[in-house]
Amino acid sequence: MDQNDRAPGQRDKVALITGAGGMKGVGRAIALKFARLGVDLALSDVQLNAEDKHPNQVRTGWRGIESVAEEVRALGVRCLTVTCDLGDSQQIHALVKQTVAHFGHIDILVNNARAIMGADKVPITELPEEVWQHFLTINLTAPFILTKLVAQEMIRQGNGGRIINIGSDTSKRATRMGAAYGSTKQGLVALTQAAAQDLAPFGITVNCPCPGSINTDRLSYWERAQAEAKDMSYEEFRATIVKEGVDATPLGRIAEPEDVANLVAFLVSDDASFITGQAYNVNGGLLFH
């Protein structure tokens, strides 16, 4: 893609996306969508051990953000990859500094990364404090730090900007055995609303897509444990979870990563310049709040 062929309003834009290394994940779908629009990319994710990866990623030799980077570069955009543990604030600072040093600016931030689910899926009376703190750190504190640092850069640049926080249907309605995840995702909506008001005078919008179940390959410790208990493969048990989601959804399917990416692409476009502080459901009619 030639620089002059990029979509109107997206030429010379740079987006920083966290949690972008999944083979069938929302981060990758957003990266590919942006690349097709001509947006240059900084992709970040944590370095996972083999036991923390989806079996498909292990079998295929998927290399996380490096594999995604190859795909987006083939679409004609520039791409920087930075491994970052969002539990370490110094690494977050370094991520933003590296992105600015490499591209000179950041125009879009997508806080997509989340803690791996499963260890939190217990009644609140059995929820370990360290698990609670981990979810708080990854799902809420890291987006706060990134929003703060990237917004400072956007204000310095003086051209406005777009910040997207990927929420969840639990941002609207908590579930049993989901105190840590639901609390952090509801907190992310509050962060979105507060930041939207603080940053509006600078032309920076902040919004929060809230998807329901998504057909991704992000590992769930709970699903893996359930599969082992039922003497099933992880993929077989995951298929039963997907079917339950399909049966419960009015539109007859669960979300694909691209469904979320399409909304994100709209929210960062010029067409959405008057939209800020909003939390949009992406759930096929399962939840309306």
Rounded CA gap, 211 and 168, in Å? 5
Alpha-carbon distances, residue 21 vs 102, 111, 256, 259, 270 (angstroms):
20, 13, 16, 18, 27
CB 20 within 8 A of CB 30: yes
Catalytic residue positions, numbered: 181
Q: In the structure encoding, which two tokens stand for residue 211, read together?
A: 């998807």
CB 148 within 8 A of CB 140: no
Rounded CA gap, 238 and 155, in Å? 43
User: Would residue 270 be called left, alpha or beta, if left means φ above 0 and alpha means ψ between -120 and 50 degrees?
Assistant: alpha
